[in-house]
Amino acid sequence: MEKRKLGRSGLEVSALGLGCMGMSYGYGPPADKHEMIKLIHAAVERGVTFFDTAEAYGPFTNEELVGEALAPYRDRVVIATKFGFTFDGKGGQSGMDSRPAHIREVAEASLRRLRVDAIDLFYQHRVDPDVPIEDVAGTVKDLIAEGKVKHFGLSEASAQTIRRAYAVQPVTALQSEYSLWLREPEAEILPTLEELGIAFVPFSPLGKGFLTGKIDEQTTFDKNDFRNIVPRFTAENRRANQAMVDLLRRIGDERKATPAQIALAWLLAQKPWIVPIPGTTKLHRLEENLGAAGVQLTAADLREIHDAASQIQVQGARYPAHLQARVGK
């Protein structure tokens, strides 16, 4: 698989990574652990070198899964994880905490769960309004100096916060949602990242599954599936948003590619320092997603997609209000 550099950091990863959250959390019951280890091994065998997890996924169980699965390949892969939440003991988040002492506690625990000597990429999961970002960046800078962390990342941060953090410790990557049906980062975030030499790691690059074309207004989700509370996933909004999938399918039919492959190829074509991390629990979906790296969209294709997508008004907020309040800070 093609490799990409994460901004100016020099950290090289596969052009497509693997988001591991859904194996343990967010989309219904956790998948079978042994099957997920086999899936992660299959990703490595197919050239994936970039794996994304977080203490919040489970909580904790996803880091343990990723750590166990990747232990045999440690010298071949880059593992990203995240800090910044507290948990209620019942599997739920109870608040945010990016105080320096807590960041250090999370780092030590993540090192153990991931079975590594150093965390390759350590993201602040969400900006904590109660802790100056300079304190956060300074703490990660110290962890880097101590050899416990290699690179610093942010997630869902505003351009202003990115600049303030970068002034203390260079930021290797920003992870935020970005796809054909969520294009807000294009206005201010992408220009800021390009100026500072920071990579962009889009999560939910397939719109939480919607852009695969396998979800319609009739689809029902498991009672524990996060999409049940996402406004964009009401039956009415799914029906309205089908126009975006129809566009991807039309372009895909012309290119002998699936809607998911066109959605990922479009992201890859935006900037050479963008590395999407689609997640899956199925081998055939992994292979489909990785096939997007071989889909070459022409300038004419990109213009056609841009013009057509610009005419589609995506319906529904990306998050319920209490979660939307955590992004863009």
Q: Who contacts 73 (Cβ-Cβ below 8 Å, separation ≥6)?
A: 41, 44
Cβ 110 vs Cβ 66: under 8 Å: no
Confidence of residue 143 (pLDDT cuts 50, 70, 90): very high
Query: At residue 235, does pLDDT exceed 90?
Result: yes
Length of the chain counted residue by residue: 329
Mean of the pLDDT values across residues 208-228? 97
Mean of the pLDDT values across residues 115-143? 98
pLDDT at residue number 236: 97
Cβ 81 vs Cβ 62: under 8 Å: no
For the chain, what percent of residues have pLDDT higher than 70?
100
Query: At residue 90, does pLDDT exceed 90?
Result: no
Residue 220 burial (C-beta neighbours within 10 Å; 0-12, 13-18, 19+): exposed
pLDDT at residue number 92: 83
Q: Domain boundaries in the chain?
A: 3-324
Q: Quick check: helix, strand or coil at residue 32? A: coil
In 3-state terms the chain splits into helix, strand, coil percentages (rounded to 5) of: 50, 15, 35
pLDDT at residue number 89: 83
Residue from 25, 27, 57, 178 carrying the catalytic annotation = 57
Q: Match 């689809």 to its residue by tokens.
A: 219
Phi and psi (nearest 5°) for 223? -60, -25
Mean of the pLDDT values across residues 286-310? 96
Asked if 166 is an active-site residue, the reply is no
Strands 173-177 and 149-155, how do they pair? parallel
- For residue 182, the cross-strand partners are 179
CA-to-CA distance for 210 and 238, rounded, in angstroms? Answer: 8
- Average pLDDT over the chain reads 97
Q: Quick check: helix, strand or coil at residue 199? A: strand
pLDDT at residue number 91: 78
Q: pLDDT of 22-35, one tens digit each?
A: 999 999 999 999 99
pLDDT at residue number 321: 95
The Cβ-side half-sphere exposure at 125, using a 13 Å CA radius, reads: 22
Q: Match 């991390």 to its residue by tokens.
A: 277
The token duo for 157 is 């941060």
Q: Quick check: helix, strand or coil at residue 18? A: strand
pTM equals 0.98
* Cα dist from 138 to 68, 131, 182, 187, 293, whole Å: 30, 12, 31, 28, 36
CATH class of 3-324: alpha beta
Confidence of residue 50 (pLDDT cuts 50, 70, 90): very high
Cβ 18 vs Cβ 47: under 8 Å: no
CA-to-CA distance for 53 and 22, rounded, in angstroms? Answer: 10
